[in-house]
Amino acid sequence: MTVLAVVEHDRGNITSASLGVLTAARNLAKQMNTKFEALTIGANADRLSETAANFGATTVHQAHNAMLTDFGPEAWGESIAQVVRKTSPSVVIGTGTERGHEIIAQAAARLDLPAAMNCLEFDKDFNGSQPLKVVRARWGGSLMEESQLDAPIKLVTLANHVVEPQEELATSPATISAIDVQLDESVSQSFVQDRVERVAGVTLATSPVVVSGGRGVGSAEAFAPLEELAGLLNGVVGCSRAVTNNGWRNHTDQVGQTGTRIAPDIYIACGISGAIQHWVGAMASKNILAINIDAQANIVTKAGYAVIGDLHVVVPAISAEIRRRQNK
Protein backbone atom coordinates (compact mmCIF):
# COMPACT_ATOMS: atom_id res chain seq x y z
CA MET A 1 0.00 0.00 0.00
CA THR A 2 1.87 3.06 -1.28
CA VAL A 3 1.29 6.39 -2.98
CA LEU A 4 2.93 6.69 -6.40
CA ALA A 5 3.78 10.12 -7.86
CA VAL A 6 4.25 10.22 -11.64
CA VAL A 7 7.00 12.71 -12.49
CA GLU A 8 6.25 14.79 -15.57
CA HIS A 9 9.30 15.93 -17.48
CA ASP A 10 10.31 17.09 -20.92
CA ARG A 11 13.34 15.19 -22.20
CA GLY A 12 14.76 14.95 -18.70
CA ASN A 13 13.74 18.40 -17.45
CA ILE A 14 11.24 18.22 -14.63
CA THR A 15 8.14 20.43 -14.83
CA SER A 16 7.08 22.69 -11.98
CA ALA A 17 3.74 20.86 -11.80
CA SER A 18 5.65 17.69 -10.84
CA LEU A 19 7.01 19.34 -7.70
CA GLY A 20 3.47 19.98 -6.46
CA VAL A 21 2.60 16.35 -7.19
CA LEU A 22 5.64 15.07 -5.27
CA THR A 23 4.62 17.23 -2.31
CA ALA A 24 0.96 16.13 -2.45
CA ALA A 25 1.95 12.47 -2.71
CA ARG A 26 4.18 12.75 0.34
CA ASN A 27 1.42 14.47 2.33
CA LEU A 28 -1.12 11.83 1.37
CA ALA A 29 1.29 8.98 2.19
CA LYS A 30 1.92 10.49 5.64
CA GLN A 31 -1.79 10.66 6.29
CA MET A 32 -2.12 7.02 5.23
CA ASN A 33 0.90 6.10 7.31
CA THR A 34 2.56 4.56 4.30
CA LYS A 35 5.42 5.08 1.86
CA PHE A 36 5.58 7.53 -0.98
CA GLU A 37 7.24 6.36 -4.18
CA ALA A 38 7.92 8.14 -7.45
CA LEU A 39 8.05 7.09 -11.09
CA THR A 40 10.25 8.57 -13.77
CA ILE A 41 9.78 7.56 -17.40
CA GLY A 42 12.71 7.11 -19.76
CA ALA A 43 16.43 6.85 -19.00
CA ASN A 44 16.87 10.57 -19.66
CA ALA A 45 14.81 11.16 -16.50
CA ASP A 46 16.91 8.91 -14.24
CA ARG A 47 18.64 11.97 -12.81
CA LEU A 48 15.27 13.22 -11.53
CA SER A 49 15.38 10.46 -8.89
CA GLU A 50 17.42 12.86 -6.81
CA THR A 51 14.70 15.50 -7.01
CA ALA A 52 12.08 12.92 -6.04
CA ALA A 53 14.24 11.85 -3.10
CA ASN A 54 14.59 15.48 -2.00
CA PHE A 55 10.83 15.56 -1.76
CA GLY A 56 10.81 12.44 0.39
CA ALA A 57 10.30 9.53 -2.00
CA THR A 58 11.48 6.30 -0.38
CA THR A 59 11.67 4.44 -3.70
CA VAL A 60 12.01 5.81 -7.20
CA HIS A 61 10.95 3.53 -10.04
CA GLN A 62 12.75 4.28 -13.27
CA ALA A 63 10.83 2.98 -16.29
CA HIS A 64 13.24 2.05 -19.05
CA ASN A 65 12.77 1.16 -22.70
CA ALA A 66 14.80 2.20 -25.74
CA MET A 67 11.64 3.79 -27.15
CA LEU A 68 11.36 6.26 -24.26
CA THR A 69 13.60 9.05 -25.51
CA ASP A 70 10.88 11.68 -25.87
CA PHE A 71 7.27 12.21 -24.85
CA GLY A 72 4.70 9.80 -26.25
CA PRO A 73 1.34 9.68 -24.47
CA GLU A 74 0.57 6.04 -25.26
CA ALA A 75 4.03 4.72 -24.39
CA TRP A 76 4.07 6.77 -21.19
CA GLY A 77 0.57 5.60 -20.26
CA GLU A 78 1.53 1.98 -20.91
CA SER A 79 4.71 2.43 -18.82
CA ILE A 80 2.67 3.77 -15.91
CA ALA A 81 0.20 0.88 -16.28
CA GLN A 82 3.00 -1.71 -16.14
CA VAL A 83 4.66 -0.13 -13.10
CA VAL A 84 1.27 0.09 -11.37
CA ARG A 85 0.59 -3.60 -12.06
CA LYS A 86 3.98 -4.47 -10.67
CA THR A 87 3.93 -2.30 -7.56
CA SER A 88 0.18 -2.14 -6.75
CA PRO A 89 0.04 1.33 -5.19
CA SER A 90 -3.16 2.52 -3.48
CA VAL A 91 -3.09 5.90 -5.16
CA VAL A 92 -1.36 7.18 -8.30
CA ILE A 93 -1.01 10.96 -8.64
CA GLY A 94 -0.15 12.69 -11.90
CA THR A 95 0.15 16.35 -12.87
CA GLY A 96 -2.94 18.37 -13.77
CA THR A 97 -1.43 19.48 -17.06
CA GLU A 98 -2.13 18.62 -20.69
CA ARG A 99 0.45 15.82 -20.58
CA GLY A 100 -0.50 14.74 -17.07
CA HIS A 101 -4.20 14.35 -17.84
CA GLU A 102 -3.37 12.51 -21.02
CA ILE A 103 -0.96 9.95 -19.56
CA ILE A 104 -3.13 9.27 -16.52
CA ALA A 105 -6.11 8.78 -18.86
CA GLN A 106 -3.97 6.41 -20.94
CA ALA A 107 -2.88 4.46 -17.86
CA ALA A 108 -6.45 4.31 -16.51
CA ALA A 109 -7.80 3.06 -19.83
CA ARG A 110 -5.12 0.38 -20.01
CA LEU A 111 -5.75 -0.73 -16.42
CA ASP A 112 -9.52 -0.40 -16.87
CA LEU A 113 -9.66 1.75 -13.75
CA PRO A 114 -11.53 4.99 -13.11
CA ALA A 115 -9.61 8.27 -12.90
CA ALA A 116 -10.41 11.66 -11.38
CA MET A 117 -8.72 14.62 -13.03
CA ASN A 118 -7.91 18.06 -11.62
CA CYS A 119 -8.30 17.17 -7.97
CA LEU A 120 -8.18 20.05 -5.51
CA GLU A 121 -8.48 18.05 -2.29
CA PHE A 122 -8.27 14.48 -1.08
CA ASP A 123 -10.31 13.09 1.81
CA LYS A 124 -8.46 13.83 5.07
CA ASP A 125 -9.68 10.53 6.56
CA PHE A 126 -8.51 8.35 3.69
CA ASN A 127 -6.35 5.50 4.94
CA GLY A 128 -5.96 3.46 1.79
CA SER A 129 -8.59 0.80 2.21
CA GLN A 130 -11.83 2.66 1.51
CA PRO A 131 -13.00 4.50 -1.64
CA LEU A 132 -11.18 7.82 -2.07
CA LYS A 133 -13.29 10.94 -1.85
CA VAL A 134 -11.94 13.86 -3.85
CA VAL A 135 -12.93 17.39 -4.69
CA ARG A 136 -12.22 18.12 -8.33
CA ALA A 137 -12.57 21.14 -10.58
CA ARG A 138 -15.31 21.31 -13.18
CA TRP A 139 -15.96 24.08 -15.67
CA GLY A 140 -12.30 25.03 -15.54
CA GLY A 141 -12.56 25.64 -11.81
CA SER A 142 -15.78 27.62 -11.55
CA LEU A 143 -17.61 24.64 -10.11
CA MET A 144 -16.42 21.97 -7.72
CA GLU A 145 -17.38 18.33 -7.78
CA GLU A 146 -17.22 16.09 -4.75
CA SER A 147 -16.89 12.57 -6.00
CA GLN A 148 -15.74 9.18 -4.98
CA LEU A 149 -13.22 6.90 -6.66
CA ASP A 150 -14.27 3.35 -6.02
CA ALA A 151 -11.46 1.11 -7.26
CA PRO A 152 -8.61 -0.96 -5.84
CA ILE A 153 -6.13 1.57 -7.25
CA LYS A 154 -7.07 5.23 -7.37
CA LEU A 155 -5.75 7.26 -10.29
CA VAL A 156 -5.89 11.03 -10.01
CA THR A 157 -4.32 14.20 -11.34
CA LEU A 158 -3.63 17.12 -9.03
CA ALA A 159 -4.91 20.48 -10.25
CA ASN A 160 -1.96 22.70 -11.03
CA HIS A 161 -0.85 25.35 -8.48
CA VAL A 162 -3.02 23.86 -5.72
CA VAL A 163 -0.17 22.44 -3.65
CA GLU A 164 2.88 24.57 -2.94
CA PRO A 165 6.05 22.52 -3.59
CA GLN A 166 8.01 21.81 -0.44
CA GLU A 167 11.11 19.66 -0.20
CA GLU A 168 11.50 17.23 2.69
CA LEU A 169 14.21 14.58 2.70
CA ALA A 170 13.24 11.04 3.62
CA THR A 171 14.96 9.61 6.67
CA SER A 172 16.92 7.10 4.59
CA PRO A 173 18.25 7.40 1.02
CA ALA A 174 15.78 6.50 -1.71
CA THR A 175 15.90 3.02 -3.21
CA ILE A 176 16.28 3.07 -6.98
CA SER A 177 14.30 0.43 -8.82
CA ALA A 178 14.91 0.21 -12.55
CA ILE A 179 11.99 -1.41 -14.36
CA ASP A 180 12.24 -2.52 -17.97
CA VAL A 181 8.81 -1.88 -19.45
CA GLN A 182 7.64 -3.82 -22.48
CA LEU A 183 6.45 -1.55 -25.28
CA ASP A 184 5.35 -2.69 -28.70
CA GLU A 185 4.43 -0.94 -31.91
CA SER A 186 0.88 -0.30 -30.75
CA VAL A 187 2.26 2.59 -28.68
CA SER A 188 5.12 3.57 -30.97
CA GLN A 189 3.31 6.01 -33.24
CA SER A 190 2.35 8.77 -30.88
CA PHE A 191 5.80 10.08 -29.95
CA VAL A 192 6.76 13.68 -30.64
CA GLN A 193 8.12 13.57 -34.18
CA ASP A 194 9.31 17.10 -34.56
CA ARG A 195 9.37 20.44 -32.76
CA VAL A 196 9.24 24.12 -33.50
CA GLU A 197 10.89 25.84 -30.53
CA ARG A 198 9.34 29.08 -29.37
CA VAL A 199 11.28 32.24 -29.89
CA ALA A 200 12.14 33.65 -26.48
CA GLY A 201 9.99 36.58 -25.46
CA VAL A 202 7.07 37.63 -23.36
CA THR A 203 3.95 35.57 -23.91
CA LEU A 204 0.39 35.99 -22.74
CA ALA A 205 0.99 33.30 -20.12
CA THR A 206 4.09 34.94 -18.67
CA SER A 207 3.65 38.70 -19.15
CA PRO A 208 3.41 40.69 -15.89
CA VAL A 209 0.94 43.10 -17.53
CA VAL A 210 -2.02 42.05 -19.66
CA VAL A 211 -4.37 44.59 -21.25
CA SER A 212 -7.40 42.71 -22.43
CA GLY A 213 -10.44 43.63 -24.48
CA GLY A 214 -13.89 42.14 -24.77
CA ARG A 215 -17.00 42.54 -26.84
CA GLY A 216 -17.18 46.17 -25.72
CA VAL A 217 -14.12 47.02 -27.81
CA GLY A 218 -16.32 46.68 -30.88
CA SER A 219 -13.91 45.82 -33.69
CA ALA A 220 -10.42 44.58 -34.53
CA GLU A 221 -9.27 48.14 -35.28
CA ALA A 222 -10.51 49.43 -31.94
CA PHE A 223 -7.84 47.33 -30.21
CA ALA A 224 -5.21 49.92 -31.26
CA PRO A 225 -5.49 51.98 -28.01
CA LEU A 226 -5.19 48.74 -25.99
CA GLU A 227 -2.06 47.83 -27.97
CA GLU A 228 -0.71 51.28 -27.21
CA LEU A 229 -1.35 51.00 -23.47
CA ALA A 230 0.13 47.50 -23.36
CA GLY A 231 3.18 48.82 -25.20
CA LEU A 232 3.67 51.63 -22.68
CA LEU A 233 3.52 49.12 -19.82
CA ASN A 234 5.71 46.51 -21.58
CA GLY A 235 2.74 44.17 -21.48
CA VAL A 236 0.75 42.16 -23.97
CA VAL A 237 -2.82 42.32 -25.27
CA GLY A 238 -5.34 39.64 -24.41
CA CYS A 239 -9.02 39.20 -25.23
CA SER A 240 -12.19 37.34 -24.36
CA ARG A 241 -13.83 34.51 -26.30
CA ALA A 242 -16.40 36.90 -27.79
CA VAL A 243 -13.51 38.70 -29.50
CA THR A 244 -11.98 35.57 -31.03
CA ASN A 245 -15.43 34.35 -32.10
CA ASN A 246 -15.93 37.65 -33.93
CA GLY A 247 -12.58 37.17 -35.65
CA TRP A 248 -11.19 40.41 -34.20
CA ARG A 249 -8.15 38.71 -32.71
CA ASN A 250 -6.39 35.38 -32.87
CA HIS A 251 -7.21 32.62 -30.38
CA THR A 252 -3.62 32.79 -29.09
CA ASP A 253 -4.66 36.04 -27.36
CA GLN A 254 -7.68 34.49 -25.64
CA VAL A 255 -7.79 34.45 -21.86
CA GLY A 256 -10.15 31.89 -20.33
CA GLN A 257 -11.15 28.30 -19.71
CA THR A 258 -10.47 27.26 -23.28
CA GLY A 259 -7.79 29.89 -23.87
CA THR A 260 -4.79 30.80 -21.75
CA ARG A 261 -4.75 30.86 -17.94
CA ILE A 262 -2.84 33.92 -16.84
CA ALA A 263 -1.44 35.22 -13.54
CA PRO A 264 0.03 38.69 -14.27
CA ASP A 265 0.81 41.40 -11.71
CA ILE A 266 -2.06 43.35 -13.20
CA TYR A 267 -4.85 42.41 -15.54
CA ILE A 268 -6.59 45.36 -17.17
CA ALA A 269 -9.94 44.13 -18.48
CA CYS A 270 -11.55 46.57 -20.90
CA GLY A 271 -15.13 46.10 -22.05
CA ILE A 272 -15.24 42.54 -20.71
CA SER A 273 -18.38 41.47 -18.88
CA GLY A 274 -16.61 38.64 -17.09
CA ALA A 275 -18.56 35.53 -18.00
CA ILE A 276 -17.48 32.55 -15.97
CA GLN A 277 -15.41 31.00 -18.78
CA HIS A 278 -13.36 34.18 -18.96
CA TRP A 279 -13.07 34.69 -15.23
CA VAL A 280 -11.49 31.28 -14.59
CA GLY A 281 -8.67 32.21 -16.96
CA ALA A 282 -8.06 35.57 -15.28
CA MET A 283 -8.81 34.92 -11.61
CA ALA A 284 -5.21 34.05 -10.71
CA SER A 285 -4.12 37.61 -11.60
CA LYS A 286 -2.56 39.41 -8.64
CA ASN A 287 -4.54 42.57 -9.37
CA ILE A 288 -7.48 43.17 -11.68
CA LEU A 289 -8.54 46.55 -13.00
CA ALA A 290 -11.85 46.54 -14.84
CA ILE A 291 -12.75 49.33 -17.22
CA ASN A 292 -16.40 49.04 -18.01
CA ILE A 293 -19.39 51.17 -18.79
CA ASP A 294 -21.57 48.96 -16.61
CA ALA A 295 -20.91 49.27 -12.88
CA GLN A 296 -22.87 46.03 -12.34
CA ALA A 297 -20.82 43.95 -14.79
CA ASN A 298 -19.62 40.71 -13.27
CA ILE A 299 -15.98 41.63 -13.77
CA VAL A 300 -16.46 44.99 -12.04
CA THR A 301 -17.93 43.38 -8.94
CA LYS A 302 -15.12 40.80 -8.80
CA ALA A 303 -12.18 43.06 -9.65
CA GLY A 304 -10.00 44.74 -7.05
CA TYR A 305 -10.15 48.05 -8.95
CA ALA A 306 -12.52 49.53 -11.48
CA VAL A 307 -13.07 52.57 -13.62
CA ILE A 308 -16.64 53.11 -14.71
CA GLY A 309 -16.64 54.56 -18.18
CA ASP A 310 -16.24 54.00 -21.88
CA LEU A 311 -13.01 52.16 -22.60
CA HIS A 312 -12.65 54.03 -25.90
CA VAL A 313 -12.12 57.23 -23.90
CA VAL A 314 -10.63 55.89 -20.69
CA VAL A 315 -7.83 53.80 -22.23
CA PRO A 316 -6.38 56.65 -24.36
CA ALA A 317 -6.62 58.93 -21.30
CA ILE A 318 -4.52 56.47 -19.27
CA SER A 319 -1.94 56.27 -22.05
CA ALA A 320 -1.84 60.08 -22.25
CA GLU A 321 -1.33 60.33 -18.49
CA ILE A 322 1.53 57.80 -18.66
CA ARG A 323 3.16 59.81 -21.44
CA ARG A 324 2.73 63.04 -19.50
CA ARG A 325 4.51 61.56 -16.48
CA GLN A 326 7.22 59.99 -18.66
CA ASN A 327 7.99 63.37 -20.20
CA LYS A 328 8.21 65.15 -16.89
Partner 1 sequence: MNILVCVKRVPAPGARINITSDGQQVDTAFLGFTVSPHEECAVEQAVQLIEKHGGDVTVLTLGPIEAEEQLRTAVSTGATKAVLVPIDTTDWDPQRTAQAIAKVIGELEATNGKYDLILFGNESADSCGYQVGVRTALKLGRPIVNGAKGLDIDNGVAIIRRESDAGVEIYKLKTPACVGVKEGINLPRYPTMKGRLASKKVAVDRSESSGETGGLKLITLRRPPERASNTVILGNGPEAAPAVVDLLEELGVFK
Interface with partner 1 in residues 210-239 (CB under 8 A)? 232-233, 235
Q: Give me the least distance between CB of 216 and partner 1, in Å please.
A: 15
Helix (H, G, I), strand (E, B) or coil at 319: helix
Helix (H, G, I), strand (E, B) or coil at 326: helix
189 binds partner 1 (CB under 8 A): yes
Residue 106's H or E segment, with its range, is helix 98-111
Contacts of 22 (CB under 8 A, 6+ apart): 5, 7, 38, 51, 52, 55, 56, 57, 165
Q: Is 215 exposed, middle or buried (0-12, 13-18, 19+ CB in 10 A)?
A: middle
Q: Quick one: which of 186, 219, 220, 231 contacts partner 1 (CB under 8 A)?
A: 186
Which of 23, 21, 58 shows the shortest CA–CA distance to 37?
58
Q: Quick one: which of 25, 63, 115, 239 contacts partner 1 (CB under 8 A)?
A: 115
303 binds partner 1 (CB under 8 A): yes
- How far is Cα 319 from Cα 95, in angstroms, rounded to an integer? 41
118 binds partner 1 (CB under 8 A): yes
Residue 255 gets which letter from DSSP?
Answer: B
Q: Give me the least distance between CB of 150 and partner 1, in Å please.
A: 5
149 binds partner 1 (CB under 8 A): yes
57 binds partner 1 (CB under 8 A): no
- How far is Cα 59 from Cα 277, in angstroms, rounded to an integer? 41
Q: Bridge-partner residues for 179, per DSSP? A: 63
Which of the ranges 37-45, 57-65, 85-93, 141-149 carries the binding residues for partner 1, by CB under 8 A?
141-149
- How far is Cα 278 from Cα 34, in angstroms, rounded to an integer? 41
124 binds partner 1 (CB under 8 A): no
Beta carbon nearer to partner 1, 57 or 291: 291
Interface residues for partner 1 in 243-302 (CB under 8 A)? Answer: 244-245, 247, 251-252, 254, 257-259, 265-266, 273-277, 287, 289-290, 295, 298, 300-302
Q: Quick one: which of 50, 86, 88, 109 contacts partner 1 (CB under 8 A)?
A: 109
Instruction: Calculate the CA 68 to chain-centre distance.
Output: 23
- How far is Cα 292 from Cα 279, in angstroms, rounded to an integer? 15
Q: Give me the least distance between CB of 98 and partner 1, in Å please.
A: 5
Beta carbon nearer to partner 1, 168 or 305: 305
- How far is Cα 75 from Cα 188, in angstroms, rounded to an integer? 7
Beta carbon nearer to partner 1, 37 or 74: 74
75 binds partner 1 (CB under 8 A): no
165 binds partner 1 (CB under 8 A): no
- How far is Cα 159 from Cα 151, in angstroms, rounded to an integer? 21
Beta carbon nearer to partner 1, 60 or 314: 314
Beta carbon nearer to partner 1, 16 or 168: 16
